[in-house]
Structure 1
Amino acid sequence: MQLGVIGLGRMGQIVVSRVLAAGHDVVAFDLDEEAVATAAEAGAQPAATLDDFLAQLGDQKRIWLMVPAGDAVDATLAELNPSLTDDDIVVDGGNSFFKESTRRAEECPAAYLDCGTSGGPAGAELGFSLMIGGPEWAYDELTPVFDAVATGPAGHDRMGPAGSGHYVKMVHNGVEYVLMQAYGEGFDLLANGRYDLDLEAVARTWNNGAVIRSWLLELCEEAFAEEGNDLGDVADYVAGGSTGTWTVQEALEQEVPVPLIYQSLAERFESRTEERFARRLANRLRYGFGRHEVARKND
């Protein structure tokens, strides 16, 4: 299968490399020429312009967008749409708001798949978890590509109609906030409690058979190993918050109580005014799974 990929940042490059490794062909485009060159070195066919990109894809276009959510998606679609037909497929693999994905699906001439993507840069080796919304025929058509990008056939599924993939990913991120907050608060108490504990050893022990073992807990162990028991100069500043905000807003609209997600979101916002060990750990964990920049105390 031939896949066109637009957006060759960290996540886009991973999509390219995993699709190539599965034996498919990739045409790669980005406004950054160096990013295109990197994809070409991996084996992709480089495209110098968007017109060149579209020409290389031929009559039936299968396009994966990995551009930042928001205006960049709309700007890219504005250039693509005149060249697309209902035989084509567009995948939005970014963290778009599900209502925007629904609108884009209605406006796009091609079949539009909103693809919530979880796993961060670690997915380069393991593969991603993909939550996909949109037409069933388009999902079935791209199943070989999803198998390649995900951890395998069990690592992706069609959630439902347009918008449902990004909806599920939105709630996923809300849950993620809570889990990070829970680990943060537990280690906050251990760090400031009555015993002088090796927090790396605690995390390692919990990760071997304990009920609360998880990848996030493995990242806690990694954080203490690399930053030290007191997290060194990691600042109490937890960036992000858009997907958590969307989750809380949707919960209010649907009248579904989500007090833990709400409180975890509030903790992120409060991290900009008052210091807590729990939020410093959450700051470092975002680097672990997403390679997000770690705010430092001297920044």
Structure 2
Amino acid sequence: MYVGVIGLGRMGQIVVDRLLDAGHDVVAFDIDEEAVADAVDAGAEPAESIPDVADALGEDARIWLMVPAGDPVDAALSELDGHVDGDDVIVDGGNSHFEASVRRADATDAAYLDCGTSGGPAGAELGFSLMIGGPQWAYDELVPAFDAVATGPDGHDRMGPVGSGHYVKMVHNGVEYALMQAYGEGFELLARGRYDLDLESVARTWTNGAVIRSWLLDLCEEAFREEGSDLGDVADHVEGGSTGTWTVQEALEQEVPVPLIYQALAERFDSREDRFARKLANRLRYGFGRHEIVRE
């Protein structure tokens, strides 16, 4: 399959690498020339502009957007206008709001797949989890590419119509907030409790057979190993919040109670008072997404 990838940041470069490793051909573009050069070194064909990507692909173009959510997505689609038609497929692999995806699908001539992407930079080795919304035929056309970029056939599926992929990813992130908060509060109690505990040892023990084992718990073990049981100079400040806010807003509209997700979101917004739980959440965001660690 011949796939165009627009946006070669951390996640976009992984998409390129995994497509190439699976034997697909890739034409790649980014405004950062060094990022394009890296993709070319990996085996991709360079493009000089976004329209050049579509033109290089020709008929039945398959284009994967990995640009930041918001205005950059609209800007990329604007540049593709007139270069794609109803036989082409565009995948939006960014963290877009599901309603924005519906709007973009209605305004775009090509078939539009909104693709919620989870796994962070660890996906370079393991592959991503892909939650995809949009026309069934368009999804079926991209299955070989999804197999390559995801962990395999079980790592992706069509969630439903346009918007459903990013909707599922939105709720996924809300759950992620609550899980991080739960681990943070538990380890805070251990850190401030009556025993002098090695939290790396606790996390390692839990990851081996305990009911609460998970990848996030693996990252807790990593955090304590690299930062120490007191998390060193990791700041009590947790970035992020947009997808959690979207989740809470949707829950209010649907009248579905999500107290744990709401509280985790509130903790992020209230990260002015020193809290161990938020320090761990700060460090965990680096673990799974290589987000910058805010330090004191």
What's the CA shift for 1:56?
Answer: 1.2
- The whole-number CA distance in structure 1 between the counterparts of 2:49 and 2:109 is 21
- Equivalent residue letter for 1:282: A
- Equivalent residue letter for 1:29: F
Residues 165-180 of structure 1 mapped to structure 2, 5 A cutoff: 165-180=165-180
What's the CA shift for 1:99?
Answer: 0.3
* 3-state DSSP of counterpart to 1:96: coil
- Equivalent residue letter for 2:283: R
What's the CA shift for 1:292?
Answer: 0.2
Q: How many pairs align? A: 296
Where structure 2 has 5 or more consecutive residues not aligned to the other structure, the ranges are none
Residues 152-167 of structure 1 mapped to structure 2, 5 A cutoff: 152-167=152-167
**TM-score relative to the length of structure 2:** 0.99
* 3-state DSSP of counterpart to 2:257: coil
Residues 241-256 of structure 1 mapped to structure 2, 5 A cutoff: 241-256=241-256
Cα deviation 1:176-216 (Å, max 9, x = unaligned):
00000000000000000000000000000000000000000
Cα deviation 1:201-237 (Å, max 9, x = unaligned):
0000000000000000000000000001100000000
What's the CA shift for 1:284?
Answer: 0.1
Cα deviation 1:109-167 (Å, max 9, x = unaligned):
00000000000000000000000000000000000000000000000000000000000
Where structure 1 has 5 or more consecutive residues not aligned to the other structure, the ranges are none
What's the CA shift for 1:49?
Answer: 2.2
- Determine if contact 2:113/2:139 at 8 Å carries over to the other structure: yes
- Equivalent residue letter for 1:243: T
What's the CA shift for 1:54?
Answer: 2.2
- Equivalent residue letter for 2:289: G
* 3-state DSSP of counterpart to 2:82: helix
- Equivalent residue letter for 2:237: Y
- The whole-number CA distance in structure 2 between the counterparts of 1:52 and 1:116 is 26
* 3-state DSSP of counterpart to 2:81: helix
Residues 1:188 and 2:182 aligned together: no
- Determine if contact 2:55/2:83 at 8 Å carries over to the other structure: no
- The whole-number CA distance in structure 1 between the counterparts of 2:149 and 2:51 is 26
Residues 1:144 and 2:116 aligned together: no
What's the CA shift for 1:246?
Answer: 0.2
Residues 121-132 of structure 1 mapped to structure 2, 5 A cutoff: 121-132=121-132
- The whole-number CA distance in structure 2 between the counterparts of 1:252 and 1:49 is 42
- The whole-number CA distance in structure 2 between the counterparts of 1:55 and 1:73 is 19
- The whole-number CA distance in structure 1 between the counterparts of 2:52 and 2:141 is 24
Where does residue 92 of structure 1 map in the other structure? 92
- The whole-number CA distance in structure 1 between the counterparts of 2:118 and 2:58 is 30
Aligned CA RMSD, in angstroms, stands at 0.5
- The whole-number CA distance in structure 2 between the counterparts of 1:51 and 1:155 is 30
- The whole-number CA distance in structure 1 between the counterparts of 2:106 and 2:8 is 26
Where does residue 6 of structure 2 map in the other structure? 6
Cα deviation 1:43-84 (Å, max 9, x = unaligned):
000112233322211111100000000000001101102111
- The whole-number CA distance in structure 1 between the counterparts of 2:135 and 2:229 is 49
- Determine if contact 2:89/2:113 at 8 Å carries over to the other structure: yes
* 3-state DSSP of counterpart to 2:91: strand
* 3-state DSSP of counterpart to 1:116: strand
**TM-score relative to the length of structure 1:** 0.98
- Equivalent residue letter for 1:171: V
Where does residue 76 of structure 1 map in the other structure? 76
Where does residue 278 of structure 1 map in the other structure? 277
- Equivalent residue letter for 1:279: R
Residues 189-204 of structure 1 mapped to structure 2, 5 A cutoff: 189-204=189-204
- The whole-number CA distance in structure 2 between the counterparts of 1:151 and 1:60 is 25
* 3-state DSSP of counterpart to 2:63: strand
Residues 1:291 and 2:290 aligned together: yes
- The whole-number CA distance in structure 1 between the counterparts of 2:51 and 2:95 is 26
- The whole-number CA distance in structure 2 between the counterparts of 1:143 and 1:59 is 18
- The whole-number CA distance in structure 2 between the counterparts of 1:262 and 1:18 is 36
* 3-state DSSP of counterpart to 1:231: coil
Among all aligned residue pairs of Structure 1 and Structure 2, give the percentage whose two residues are the same amino acid: 79
- Equivalent residue letter for 2:277: A
Where does residue 27 of structure 2 map in the other structure? 27
- Determine if contact 2:8/2:29 at 8 Å carries over to the other structure: yes
- Equivalent residue letter for 2:4: G
